[in-house]
Amino acid sequence: MSNLLKSSYYFPLQVTIDDREPDSLEKEFRDLGNMIIRRKRLAVEDYLFDNDFLVERKSIPDFCLSIKDGRLFKQAGKLINSRIPACLILEGKNREFKKADFSSKAIQGILLSMSLAFRLPILRTKDTHESVQVMLQSFKQLTRDKLEGQRFYPRSFFSRAKKDPLLAQKIHILEGFPGIGADKAARLLMKFGNLESVFTAHPDDLLNVPGFGKETVDGIFEILKK
């Protein structure tokens, strides 16, 4: 994975990190390379990948505190009601639960409730390094990109957007549609050439663009029709 993401040839992955997350996690992403890292206050999640995947990361102490103060299930509700697929990463070792004065049965019951009742995937990790690896692997599986094709559009297209204000504006317009980040916007423009061709394309043609599923295509046409 590291060799792939350090390549300068492929279009960079956009990762938006909540400004309350530790600097150590941002460093883990930056060390991998070939990513656009943004810091800002996120309303629901801690991490947003290309507008395609949401991640809420909780250390075990924070997880236990969020149970006590009632935040946990409110956050879970917001995540599952988002149009973007989401998961929760629970980071830390089991012995940390004992320090928070939670029994193993109580924790198991809460995790089952979130997984079954809320249908929110919960992924366990030991530390920040593993959390970053799990996030990226989950994103790749979700977007169904092969390992060797994680970023399969030349970076030159992204470089052109920096020099061409009109191209950058076209990408920005497409990014306004649900489920479309800069990467998907670039795929549309590379396939159809201009915005008019994108907006007048048949849904089946849009579905043939890598990374575009029915939900994303339906979201585009829902906005266009309204």
* Residue 37 host element (H or E): strand 35-40
Task: Compute the mean pLDDT over every residue in the chain, rounded to the nearest whole number.
Answer: 83
Q: How far apart are CA 130 and CA 93, in angstroms?
A: 12
**pLDDT for res 145:** 45
Q: Is the pLDDT of residue 164 over 80?
A: no
Of 126, 117, 70, nearest to 94 by C-alpha is 126
pLDDT band at 152 (very low <50, low <70, confident <90, very high): very low
Is pLDDT larger for residue 40 or for residue 4? 40
Mean pLDDT (whole number) for 140-158: 54
Which is higher by pLDDT, 143 or 83? Answer: 83
Domains and CATH numbers, the chain: 2-149 (3.40.50.10130), 155-225 (1.10.150.20)
What's the mean pLDDT in 43-59?
92
Contact of 49 with 13, CB cutoff 8 Å: yes
Token pair listed for 193: 């050439």
**What confidence category does residue 83 fall into, taking pLDDT thresholds of 50, 70 and 90?**
confident
Number of other residues whose CB lies within 10 A of the CB of residue 36: 15
Greater confidence (178 vs 69) lies with 69
Prediction pTM value = 0.61
- The answer to whether the beta carbons of residues 84 and 51 sit under 8 Å apart is yes
Distance CA 34, CA 197 (A): 30
Q: What is the mean pLDDT of residues 53-78?
A: 92
